[in-house]
Amino acid sequence: MRRVVVTGLGMINGVGHDKKTAFDAIVAGKCGINTITLFDPEKFSAQIASEVKDFDPSTVMDGKEVKKADRFIQLGLKAAMEAMEDAQFDESIDRERFGVSSASGIGGLPSIEKNSVICDTRGPRRISPFFIPSALVNMLGGFVSIYQNLKGPNLSSVTACAAGTHAIGEAAKTIMIGGADRMLVVGAESAVCGAGVGGFAAMKALSTRNDDPQTSSRPFDKDRDGFVMGEGAGALVLEDLESAQARGAKIYAELIGFGESGDANHITTPTMDGPLRAMKAAYRMAGEPKVDYVNAHGTSTPINDKNETAALKELFGGKENCPPVSSTKGQIGHCLGAAGSMEAIISIMAMERGIIPPTINQLTPDENCDLDYVPNKAREAELNVVMSNSFGFGGTNGVVIFEKFTD
């Protein structure tokens, strides 16, 4: 089976418009969470989110085209552009052997909300003709393929908060079986709108620490009270190893394992068993290496953080054998379908730079969350193998493992 490596990275989120700025802020423990500005949150129980501020979509799209694409697509195009520039392809690249694997948990929810109101108040004839093309999740891959002229397989994962990770796995499978030589993975989400925040708040899933946004997301902390929504996008260029070496590409890491599973238990309440089976599958595929760091799903919800801790202990054979673990959602919020792609990038960059991002807002210990979560301050470390976890509503789970590449 063909080996798959990472040769390009791109990221935009609430703490930075590019991968370096965002990663540096995450490592410094900076928090992008604040009072929502994308709509008036006054009547909502949850009024905070990690928004991408000062983003101009005309920097990635022609101004006349902006109205044709929902914000999640615009953010995805930005991350994709950075990843492709980072990979440094020349014009000789075979575009018919270069595909796209896109991901979003919800897609164009703001457009759905807006046009539903228009339909109800002004009538169906006033619905925008761009509504459907701007809202469909797979249009992220459609726009990216057009803007980057990629004519290979065009796939889309819509698996809630595991979507970004599943998109990496789907891209890797495509390369491994010879369906493409290269795949651009793009996970993007922008669901910070009334329907999105109101819907999650109705489920009691969100933090309501509105008076203190900077400490509202508290992964693995005893006083955690729910996740905080984020928006953004992450993009990775995956290549067949031989193709990457033939063109002299910079190789960030090799994807050595991925695993997927279903809880088959409850649509919104996670289990320990499902995530554990996904971790075990990825770990076995990787050859059961010494894992040096885990970027946890770590949502800051009572059940997830407890279950994920227990699953990690089971995977590694007890607390004493677990590697350092951190969740970066305290810095950038939970970016839903984009979380997996961004957290994979964060894991790879942590390995490249030899530093573990902190879990910020670790204030009160929880007896059920008793691992080394790298509390509040980044830590220098030699990292050769990293794991990234993603779990989603519907009981869908994804895990990826990367190894530092050496010739």
314 three-class SS: helix
| Cβ contacts of 264 within 8 Å, gap of 6 or more | 274, 395
pLDDT in the model for residue 263 = 96
Instruction: Tell me the CATH number at 235.
Output: 3.40.47.10
One digit per residue, the tens of pLDDT, for the chain of length 407 reads 899 999 999 999 999 999 999 999 999 999 999 999 999 999 999 999 999 999 999 999 988 899 999 999 999 999 999 999 999 999 999 999 999 999 999 999 999 999 999 999 999 999 999 999 999 999 999 999 999 999 999 999 999 999 999 999 999 999 999 999 999 999 999 999 999 999 999 999 999 999 999 999 999 999 999 999 999 999 999 999 999 999 999 999 999 999 999 999 999 999 999 999 999 999 999 999 999 999 999 999 999 999 999 999 999 999 999 999 999 999 999 999 999 999 999 999 999 999 999 999 999 999 999 999 999 999 999 999 999 999 999 999 999 999 999 87
**Cα gap 316→314, rounded to integer Å:** 6
pLDDT value of residue 364: 97
Catalytic residues: 161, 297, 334
107-129 as b/e: b if 16+ CB within 10 A: bbbbbbbbbeebeeeeeeeeeee
Radius of gyration of the chain, Cα coordinates, nearest whole angstrom: 20
Whole-structure pTM over 0.95, yes or no?
yes
Q: Are 328 and 346 in contact (CB under 8 A)?
A: yes
Residue 163 in domain: yes
Is residue 190 domain-resident?
A: yes
Asked if residue 405 belongs to a domain, the reply is no
- Is residue 369 in some structural domain? yes
Q: Given this model, what pLDDT does residue 199 score?
A: 98
168, 400 contact by CB (below 8 A): yes
Q: Which of 121, 101, 104, 125 is nearest to 113 (CA)?
A: 121
As for how many domains the chain has, the answer is: 1
In-domain check, residue 404: no
**Do the Cβ atoms of 351 and 384 come closer than 8 Å?**
yes
Q: Is residue 407 part of a domain?
A: no
pLDDT attached to residue 280: 98
**403, part of any domain:** no
Residue 212 sits in which domain range?
1-398
Q: Which helix (H) or strand (E) holds 100?
A: strand 98-103
Can you give the pLDDT at residue 227? 98
Half-sphere exposure of 64 (CA within 13 A, CB side): 0
Q: CA-to-CA distance for 67 and 71, rounded, in angstroms?
A: 9
In a domain, 67, yes or no: yes
